[in-house]
Chain A
Amino acid sequence: MKVKRKKSNRIRQGDVYKNVEYIEFVKERAGDIEISRIEFPLVIVLTQDCDLERDFEFRYGRKKPKPTTQDKYLLSVLVAPLYNAEHVYLGEHLDQLNIKMEPINKIKSPGENLRKNERPRYHYLEFPSEVPIVPSVIDFKHYFSVNVEYLRKIQKENFVCGVSPLYREDISLRFANFLSRIGLP
């Protein structure tokens, strides 16, 4: 798979960011506030790149005349976590959240099918040697949204790499297919 390691001035589809927070819930009771947040070591951006581009132009663009509305603003960016493939085989990638996942036999058909991207839920990625990411698996079922301004704030510090267009389109298409799947009886 090809990747770009150069930071862009904006968030792009296929960008991989590290240490991204997800607010699970916020509770308020009699003045006491409880916030539960999950920190994901790696996530990949799934939002369409044209939407991200238009959002950037409307928010920070220098084109004149300036847009008179915020019509193209996004409220959030869709991302999905990347899990260490070795943890996924063992079903232990979410054990620190007290979630036990189904193990996938690495050396038999289930593991092979995962690596061939024949399981709609998962997308297996191997990064080139210059990118310091272990073989990873995107779990499309665990997609979540991140606030645009938050992601923009951590963009420079937490950017790891960007998946090149051909491969990111493959990921995007597989994600869309997963979301729109129909379970026939």
Chain B
Amino acid sequence: MGDRKGVFHKGHDNKGKTSTEIASNKAQSGAEIESEETKGETSTDTTSDKAQPGVKMKVEAIKYGLSKPTRKIIRARTVSNESKT
């Protein structure tokens, strides 16, 4: 992966991350990525390979619905009245 400069609306720090990791950030935040410059990088989920340096363009870095449903178990203990007093 080459260097990739981009402007992220929601302030993710993507320094040193792969495009997959960047995409993952977007999936979580829902933020759109607006790329100002792309340097000859090929990526499966961006259109950056067609981008011209210095040309402002919007790329859809990821699509929703790539992930699968997940289960989380939360365990907690109730506080009894006795322990409060």
Which A residues are closer than 8 A to B by beta carbons?
Answer: 18, 24, 28, 31-42, 81-84, 87, 92-97, 132-134, 136, 157-158, 160
Contacts and interface: CB of A to CB of B under 8 A. Distances in A.
Interface size class of B (residues with CB under 8 A): 20 to 34
Q: Does more than half of chain A's interface fall in helix, strand or loop, or is it mixed?
A: strand
A27 to B, nearest CB: 10
A10 to B, nearest CB: 20
Nearest to A158: B30
A12 to B, nearest CB: 18
A157 B30 CA distance: 9
Interface stretch (B11-19, B34-42, B49-57, B69-77): B69-77
Contacts of A81: 69
B80 A97 contact: no
Contact of A84 (B60, B65, B72, B80): B65
Nearest to A136: B65
Q: Does more than half of chain B's interface fall in helix, strand or loop, or is it mixed?
A: loop
B65 A134 contact: yes
Contacts, number: 84
B63 interface: yes
Nearest to B74: A35
A42 B64 contact: yes
A134 to B, nearest CB: 5
Interface string B22-43: 0000000010000000000000
A37 B72 contact: yes
Given A31-B77, A32-B75, A33-B77, A18 B64 contact: yes
Closest 6 A/B residue pairs (Cβ)? A35-B74, A134-B63, A132-B63, A31-B78, A134-B65, A41-B67
Contact of B68 (A36, A84, A136, A158): A84
Contacts of A84: 65-68
Given A24-B71, A40-B69, A96-B70, A160 B78 contact: no
Nearest to B72: A37
A38 B30 CA distance: 20
B71 A97 contact: yes
B30 A18 contact: yes
A39 B76 contact: no
